[in-house]
Every structure is written in structure tokens, then in C-alpha cells.
Structure 1
Amino acid sequence: MESQRSILIIAIAFISFLLWQKWHEAYGPQPVQPVTQQAADSVPAGVPSASSVPASNGTDEDVPVAASEALPQATASNSTKQTISVVTDTLNLTISLVGGDVIHADLVKFPVTQGSDEPYSLLRAGNGLYVAQSGLVGANGPDGSSQGRPLYQAQADSYELNGDTLSVPLTWSSNDGISITKTFTFTRGHNDVDVSYAITNNSGQTAQFQQYAQLKQTTAEQEGGNMFMPTYRGAAYGTADDRYNKYTFGDIEDDPLRITTTGGWVSMLEHYFISAWVPSQTETNSLYSRMVANQYAIVGYTGEPTSVESGQVIELNSTLYLGPKDQEKLAMLANGLDLTVDYGILWWISQPLFTLLKFLHSLVGNWGLAIILITIIVKGAMYWLTKKQYESMAKMRNLAPKMQQLKDRYGDDRQKMSQAMMELYKKEKVNPMGGCFPLLLQMPIFLALYWVLLESVELRHADFILWITDLSVMDPYFVLPILTGASMWMLQKLQPTTMTDPMQQKIMQWMPVAMSVFFIWFPAGLVLYWFISNVITLIQAKMIYASMEKRGIK
């Protein structure tokens, strides 16, 4: 088999893989939830129902929903300041005193564009609504009241992290002796925020509460990836039995999530960044989703119902993560949360490759050089496959005259032709699949590294050299795509074809040009990998051909 055909196979297989994946996301069968996890009715066990909130309508609508453009209605209206600001070394937040929701979150260490002073906004109110809500429902929960959300009180309008930790307490009290302190605790260098509720019951009777938390955002179309750089925007969740599941906005609209599990987590994803609620990992939680007004998607959880005796003080906790898809940090928060860095079905190859890439970066301090080094290592490790591939192709080319003789002898008699070919292969000790099999073994590694370079937030705004200041976007001057096409042309010249079909010859002649155009939309880091891979292949081909010449193989 000709190496040019191999290149064509790679391109077609790669494009087919991307198209199949996009089709599967849109139209493929969705995973069926285990029966043991699914609730018996349409409302999960943890979502407030008629039994837990007598004053409500008995649906999952009992869990509060923020208004699309304004703050939710409060139980009191005597406050002129209904938001506070919190600034840390990683986050710049705005928290509404109505319900204690996080309605705005800037990621301080991640500019919206390279070199910009404006930080990336993950959460936002108003247009493009995307907020993180949390609270207490249940018979005595202030968020489950028919009067609206509770209005918390804060000691200051703004808070700033100066030490290693910062606690921001919000307080609320009812007329019947129940007081709640909702505390946000921030830690230097962390994007995860501890959210706790200290509940004091002095009402003279047992009170019932249930913790909930949810993420809500608009489903309106936003800028995203394309066929060559597919990115996912939507919900995801994890359970004790199924660590990671995507749940698209279409899924939320057509088949709302209703699962009860030990631990678990819920999240909203976008390229490079994630917001996630992580409840207690030892308690039973109910994960849910729903669509509001056909334009706002919600994914959340409710915890176990909690009874608080009169005179008793209890504390409930959860964790809110707002930040980049950092695999190490996410893995520490919940089982499977690190899988939101979605490498697809080849994650078991991608994760070791990413670990190696990070190690190389720790040595050289430049992600572009790290990509070059990992390419050298990968191509070096696969040298024996490349050698087998090239030797097999050389032997098949040498058999071309004998194959033509068989065609002339047997004509259209396919059966005799096939028998003669098998005898020829056996006599000459040639495997007709020898050129394809090594190629098929290399494809998963290329695809795995493709997803590593596409998904890793570490490459966002990562500088290389000269004009390439961001390896996560396309080469602004198209130098790398042109060099890649030139290297493919050189590989073609190094491996002259014996093709006689004019159409195939034209396709192969234009292949480097087509691939150069194809690579224009790829991130520079990916094109750098392919270009260096081609250069190494050229060097290896020279070595392999020299070795074959010494052994008398043309």
C-alpha cells in the first residue's frame, strides 16, 4: 500500500471521526440511567414535594428560580443594597443578598483575550444569564417559602482576601426563632468555595430543612467551536455508579434528570472552564434538571431532609467550584469531576499523554517546546511500527510488476486471481495489510493527543515563539499550515507512487494543499504537533530506506 494512500486514509478517518462524534452528540442514543438510581415518579426524592413543603405546589418548581433579568423577589424590601462583592486572588464575585446566590464571577487569572486587562466572566446576570443558586427548602426552609427568597444581611458591602482564608457570613432570622448563617469561605489559590449553613432552631418545635444548589444559564447560542475544533457547552453530572455524563440542553428539555445517588455532582461546562456544585459525598443526594420558559436550563441537586430539634444547632455544607478545568484539583473535589476535561473514548490514552506533556513543560517551561518533545517521544516509541509500515509498502511496490502479470493472466476471473495473489504473498513473505495495520495502531495515539491539545486549559494563551503567542488558536499568519503542507509534499516526493489511475494521482498531488487548508482552522499547537511529526517521519524514512538498501530491498 502506498504511503500517499495512508495519508489519505488518515485524513478521511480523522474527518469521519469528528463527523461521527458530532452526529452522535446530536442524534445518537443517550445512556439509559440505571433503574436502581432512577426515582419512581417524575420528581426526585430530594426535590421538595407536597410532603416536605405543604405550602407549595408539590413539584420541582418548589426549588427557587432566579428571574431572567432581575434579582429574585425577597421576603423583605427595606434594603437599599442587595449585593456584596468579594475579591480574592482567583475570583471576583458578586453575591446577591436575596437568597445568597452568586450572580457574577470573574476569573482573575484568565483574561478574556490574550493581553487584555478584562478578566474572563464565567457567571453573569442580565443578558446571557448564568448564575449559581443555593439555599434551604423544606417545611421551614426560607427558600421554600411562598413569600419568596430570604433577604440576608451582611456586615459589609465588599470583602477582600488578605490572608490565606476569607469568610463571608450572611445572616437571616425568622419571626419564629429560626436563624441561619450562610457562610462563603475562600482559600488563597483556590477556585473552590465552601458554602455552609449554620442553622439555629429556637422555635420551640422541630424544624425541617433540605439543602439545594443549582446552576442556571441561558440556552441561547453563543460563540463556540467548529467541526475541526468541537467544544461542548451544556450540563454534566456524575453519580456513584456513573462517574461522568454529558446532559445537553436538549436532554434537559426532553428528558429532565431525576437521579438519586450517594455523593455525586452537577456542573455546567464550556470550553476550558466549569462551574460545579459538589454536595456531601457521604450522603444521599438527588440530582435534577429542568427547562424554564424554554430558554433557561437548570441542573442541580437536593440533599437529605434534615430535622433540627428545638435548641439545636446544625451545619450543612457544599462546595461551589468556579474556574478552569484543572484535572488535579477537580479530581480532589469529587469522583469523576476531572473527566469534565473530556478526552472522549480515548481518555485512557489521553490522560497519560497529558501527564507526560505537563512533565515536559516543567522541564522546559514552554508549552510549544513541550509539544515538540512529546512528538519526538511518541514518534520514537512508534518507530518500529513505522519501520514495518515502510518495509511492507516497499515490498508491495516491488511486487507491482508481478501483480500486473497476474492481472494480465487471469483477467476477470476473480477467484483464480485471489488464489494466485495469496500464493504470491506467501511465497514472497509479504503481508498485504502490513502497511495499514501499523497505521491503525498509530491513529488512536494521534486522536488522543489531538484531544489533549484541544481540551487542556494549560494551552490557553500559552506562548511559543515569535508570532505564535497562543497555541490554542489558529496560526495568525498560516505559517505552520503551509510548512505542514510542504512537509507532506516532501514525503510524497520521497515515496514515489506507482498509481496508474489519473484520478488517484490528481488527488494525491493536491493532498498537501488540501491538508494545508484543512489545518488553517486548527489550533497552532495541533498543527505544530503534525508538522514536527512529519519532519520526524522524513528523518525516519531516510533511515529506514538506507537500512533496506543495505539489505537489498529497493
Structure 2
Amino acid sequence: MDSQRNILLIALMFVSFMLYINWNETTPPQQEDLSVTQQGQYSGDIPSSLEGSQLLMQNSISSKHISIHTDVLTLIVDIQGGDVIRAELENYAAALDSENKFVLLKKDPDHEFIAQSGLIGSNGIDTLNGRAQFATTTSSFFLEDNQEELRVPLILVKDGITYTKVFTLKRGSYAVDVSYIIDNKSDKPTSVQMYTQLKQNLMDDGGSLTMPTYRGGVYSVDDTRYKKYSFDDMQDNNLNLTMTHSGWAAMMQHYFIAAWIPHASGEANLYTRTHKGQGFIGVRYPTTIVVPGTETTLNTTLWVGPKLQDQMTETALYLNLTVDYGWLSVIATPLHWLLSQIHEIVGNWGVAIIILTFIVRGAMYPLTKAQYTSMAKMRMLQPKLVEMRERIGDDRQRMSQEMMTLYKKEKVNPLGGCLPLVLQMPIFIALYWALMESVELRHAPFILWIRDLSAPDPYYVLPLLMGASMFIIQKMSPSTVTDPIQQKIMNFMPIMFTLFFLWFPAGLVLYWLISNIVTLLQQTLIYHSLEKKGLHSRK
């Protein structure tokens, strides 16, 4: 029954294995290569391309594009179609210490990721002959210091009907309202169907072994609160879902997301498709009839920005679930909330992680005490178990019966040292996911050389300290292992974990290091108490 350490070894290996599991579980008309599906969905690309992204970065906007500037967003909109072809996030750098802003949407030669919207249908302004050509009064729009809201209109007059596409942006918000105001002053009714979609080059999911992340499609529709639909899925099968009450279509990556949230009355259609090496996910609205002498407004919202849970919750139902904590979200969500509350007080995410670790390990102290008490009692019984084996021999049934009698007499649970560890594992894994998915930790400094908690420690100090602390814990813990091979495996565990953690984000390694330090403190207190009772023996 030297199974205590074996189960502990398996549990530790299981934790390590779970850390690396990647929980991964549209198109308007153009002037070339146009086709229409049976559902009326257009395939192809849109005209007009940027003549180099550097021109945009220098705010040299051609007459084909307008720029929209708020305190958090800089958008470039193509006036042919009114698509958002570039989105810079003002509060997020492209890289640590970079002066360039992070670009979520772009139309570069090597990577295209844009947000499209338009009007198709019998009288749509986006037709087989091309996209709508809007007019605007100026090429640059700014949210002034005394403004809370910025409205940017694009206007097209055709056949007695005025189409106004309006972008509405608010201070501090990554939610962009997009409206089509259709004023029918003609003598005939007009029939249109609004669509919104995201278009991006087909790419792999991204991420790495130590930082598994997801890049691809994701959606919510009626009873399906949140579901990923990768580029591989899109190539295998086109989605064609009915959206009755609420939902959204999005493409996301680590920390950031672009999503269309429709405001449709009636049944809408959520779809995906691929075309010429690009993937599309979007929503088609029900057909709208605008009778002569009336005005109708069609509304949608584009979220383009970081995965900020509070703001996303206010923007769309279940959009916050794109901060994907996997199957332990019920634990990870309150842990992230607690971490955020601590950060509001201390102002440093590294310090917040340390305090959170003390809180979590403090709450688990009764389990930790039960674990080490049981392990100590099991070690105290080893001489009796050895004598029992020598006396009984190979009679396994009798051996099992007498062992259970001994455990009952001594009030020892043979699994008591392992069960608390198993109960703690979900918390460890949930914390891992909560820290890894937190955009707040991106480029967040801690102290001295740790200038980005979302990146590995550049000098490997934290992983080495973590390995050392794990080695000390192992030496302090009572052991029943006598087999030389098992002892070598256990001695190798700190080295193996150190190698793993060399490439983990510093915030995660910091959590594990502090957790080990707390464990050492708790072990000291527990063993001191056990020694008074005559139970503890480390060797």
C-alpha cells in the first residue's frame, strides 16, 4: 500500500497535463467573381484596397477612406461599402514598449481582417455590379474633449431614396453602433436586406504548448450561448442557423475580439463560408420593405476591442463568454472578479496575484491540513504494514482485510492524503485559465525585471525559484516510498516542472511560486502541531 506517493505523482502529472490542453473545443457582392447561393448569400471579395498600411499609420488618408478617432479607437472606413478596414486600439500597444498601437482589424497584403456591412436584396445598394459609393463631408472625424458621443454619417442618394449609414461611437467604449437610415421619397416601395460579416484569412488556431490560445470564429444564437467554430470547421461545413431572439457572430484571438451584434426583429440567419483562402462569419437580417414617404432605420453593433468582461456583458448577452475559462468557468469567473477587486485596491497585478494566492490557499488550509495529517499517519503505520506483509505473505484477500481493520482501528483514511489534492486541482486549473485569459495582464509590469506578466520571465528567475520551492516541499513531506526507481522519479519532478515553467507567462509562475511558499508555511505549522502529538516523522 505504498500508493500515497504514486497517487500524488499521478495527480501532479495530471495537473501538468491539464495545463497544456487547448480547450478549443458571409460575403457581400463584388465586381469580380460574383456568385449567389440559394439563400441569397453573395460570395467574393470587395473592391478598393489600402495602398500600404504605413500610410494609414501616419494618418495620410486617401479620398477613398475616412478616419474616425475616439479616446480608445481609431477606425479607418472605406467609403465604398462603408466597411471598417482598420481598427487601432489606442490603449493597447502592439508590443511591449512599442509606440505603435495594437491593430485588430486590418487590410494588409499578408493579413486581411475586416468588418463588413451592407444592404442587399431586390433594391439593395450593394449589388452584383458593385458596392455602394457613399459621400461624406470630411475625411477625418474626432471625438472632442467636450463630447461623449461621435456620429459619423455616410450618405448615398439613389432613385429618390436617401441611404445614410451612421457610425456612432461613445467615449471609452469599444462598441460601435452602425445604422442604416432609409428615407424613401420615391413613389415605389423598396426592399432591402441588411447583412453584417467578418472576413479574415484562414489561419491556424495559434498559441503554443505553454500558452494555448484560439483564433477563429465564434457565435451565439438562441439556445447556444457560446460556441467556437474554427476556420477548419468553416472549410468542412458552412453554418446556416436561425437567430430568433438574440445572438452574435464574431472572430476572436487571444485577448481581443471583433463581433457583430444584430438588433433585428424577426428571424435572422447566421452563416459561415470560405472563399479564396478567406473565412467569413456573419448575419443576414430579415427583408425590410420601406414604403414610399416613410423612413426606416436598421441597427447593429460592432464590438472591436479587448475582451473586457464588464463592457461586453453590457453590450450583448453572453458576449463575455468569449473570455473562455473552459469547463471550470464556474470557478475561474469569481476568481477573476476577486483578482480585479484586489487590483483596484493595490494597483499592481503582480501584487494582486500574490494576495489572491494567499486568500485561496488560506481558504484551502483545512484540506491541506487533512492531507498532511493523513500522510503523516500513514507513515507512522508503515512498520505495522511491513510486519503484516511478512506475516501474511501472498494472501491478498487476508492482507486487504487486516489492513482495513488496522486503518479503522487507527482512524486513518488511506486516501485522505490524496483526496484533498484532487479537490484542489480544479482550483489550480481554474486559476491558470483565469490568469491566462485576462487581457488586463497583457504588458502589465510587476517589479524590477518582470515588465510583462503575460510573457515568460526573461531571466528565468521565477521558474528557478518555483523549482527550488517545490524541491523543498518534497523534502519536507513525509514519504512512504522505498522503491529506488520511484524515489528517483519523485526527485526528478521539481526539475521537470521547472523546465515546463520556463516558458509559462510570468503571472502564472508567480502564482505557483507564491502557492509553494504558502504551502511551506502551512507545512511548518502543521508538522509542528503533529510533532506535539507524536505523529510526524519526515524520514
Q: Same fold (TM over 0.5)?
A: yes
| SS of the residue 1:427 aligns to | helix
1:404 aligns with 2:386: yes
Q: Using the alignment, how far apart are the partners of 2:3 and 2:15 within structure 1?
A: 18
Could you tell me the TM-score, scaled by structure 1's length? 0.89
1:250 aligns with 2:229: no
Question: Which residue in the other structure is 1:137 paired with?
Answer: 120
Q: Quote how far apart the aligned CAs of 1:287 are.
A: 0.7
Percent of residue pairs bearing the same amino acid type: 49
Q: Using the alignment, how far apart are the partners of 1:140 and 1:282 within structure 2?
A: 20
* Aligned residue runs from structure 1 range 83-482, under 5 A: 83-126=65-108, 127-143=110-126, 145-162=127-144, 163-174=147-158, 176-221=159-204, 224-261=206-243, 262-280=245-263, 283-293=266-276, 295-482=277-464
Q: 1:304 to 1:484 in 2, by over 3 A?
A: same
| SS of the residue 1:140 aligns to | coil
Question: Which residue in the other structure is 2:57 paired with?
Answer: none
Question: Which residue in the other structure is 1:508 paired with?
Answer: 490
| SS of the residue 1:385 aligns to | helix
Question: Which residue in the other structure is 1:34 paired with?
Answer: none
Q: Is the 8 A contact 1:263 1:282 kept in 2?
A: no
Q: Is the 8 A contact 2:28 2:45 kept in 1?
A: no
Q: Quote how far apart the aligned CAs of 1:68 are.
A: 9.0
Q: Quote how far apart the aligned CAs of 1:4 are.
A: 5.8
Q: What stretches of structure 2 of length at least 5 have no aligned partner?
A: 51-61
Q: 1:480 to 1:434 in 2, by over 3 A?
A: same
Q: Using the alignment, how far apart are the partners of 1:442 and 1:288 within structure 2?
A: 41
Deviation digits for residues 54-112 of structure 1, max 9, x if unmatched? x97443573364349847xxxxxxxx821111121111111001110001111111001
1:59 aligns with 2:38: yes
| SS of the residue 2:494 aligns to | helix
Q: 1:104 to 1:118 in 2, by over 3 A?
A: same
Q: Using the alignment, how far apart are the partners of 2:407 and 2:383 within structure 1?
A: 13
Give the total of aligned pairs.
516
* Aligned residue runs from structure 1 range 37-56, under 5 A: none
Q: Is the 8 A contact 2:5 2:481 kept in 1?
A: no
Letter in 2 for 1:138: G
Q: Using the alignment, how far apart are the partners of 1:296 and 1:275 within structure 2?
A: 16
Q: Quote how far apart the aligned CAs of 1:442 are.
A: 0.5
Q: Using the alignment, how far apart are the partners of 2:239 and 2:436 within structure 1?
A: 29
Letter in 2 for 1:445: I
Letter in 2 for 1:17: M
Letter in 1 for 2:240: R
Q: Is the 8 A contact 2:376 2:478 kept in 1?
A: no
What is the aligned-residue RMSD (CA, Å)? Answer: 2.2
Q: Quote how far apart the aligned CAs of 1:504 are.
A: 0.9
Q: 1:68 to 1:458 in 2, by over 3 A?
A: farther
Q: Using the alignment, how far apart are the partners of 2:306 and 2:87 within structure 1?
A: 12
Q: Quote how far apart the aligned CAs of 1:350 are.
A: 0.7
Deviation digits for residues 451-497 of structure 1, max 9, x if unmatched? 11000001111111111011111101000000001101111221253
| SS of the residue 2:219 aligns to | strand
Q: Is the 8 A contact 1:69 1:125 kept in 2?
A: no
Q: Using the alignment, how far apart are the partners of 2:316 and 2:461 within structure 1?
A: 42
Question: Which residue in the other structure is 2:58 paired with?
Answer: none
1:535 aligns with 2:512: no
Question: Which residue in the other structure is 1:495 paired with?
Answer: 477
1:485 aligns with 2:493: no
| SS of the residue 1:153 aligns to | coil
Q: Quote how far apart the aligned CAs of 1:138 are.
A: 1.3
Q: Is the 8 A contact 2:264 2:285 kept in 1?
A: no
Q: Is the 8 A contact 1:4 1:492 kept in 2?
A: no
Q: Is the 8 A contact 1:48 1:58 kept in 2?
A: no
Letter in 1 for 2:172: G
Q: Using the alignment, how far apart are the partners of 1:461 and 1:3 within structure 2?
A: 41
Q: Is the 8 A contact 1:233 1:269 kept in 2?
A: yes
Q: Using the alignment, how far apart are the partners of 1:535 and 1:320 within structure 2?
A: 45
Q: Is the 8 A contact 1:263 1:284 kept in 2?
A: no
Q: Is the 8 A contact 2:19 2:429 kept in 1?
A: no
Q: 1:48 to 1:128 in 2, by over 3 A?
A: closer
Q: Using the alignment, how far apart are the partners of 1:316 and 1:452 within structure 2?
A: 37
Q: 1:149 to 1:527 in 2, by over 3 A?
A: same
| SS of the residue 2:128 aligns to | coil
Q: 1:2 to 1:466 in 2, by over 3 A?
A: farther
| SS of the residue 1:217 aligns to | strand
Q: 1:279 to 1:342 in 2, by over 3 A?
A: same
Q: Using the alignment, how far apart are the partners of 2:187 and 2:287 within structure 1?
A: 19
Q: Using the alignment, how far apart are the partners of 2:491 and 2:89 within structure 1?
A: 48
Q: Using the alignment, how far apart are the partners of 1:60 and 1:15 within structure 2?
A: 48
Q: Quote how far apart the aligned CAs of 1:446 are.
A: 0.7
Of 113-122 and 198-207, the range deviating more from structure 2: 198-207
Letter in 2 for 1:435: G
Letter in 2 for 1:130: F
Could you tell me the TM-score, scaled by structure 2's length? 0.91
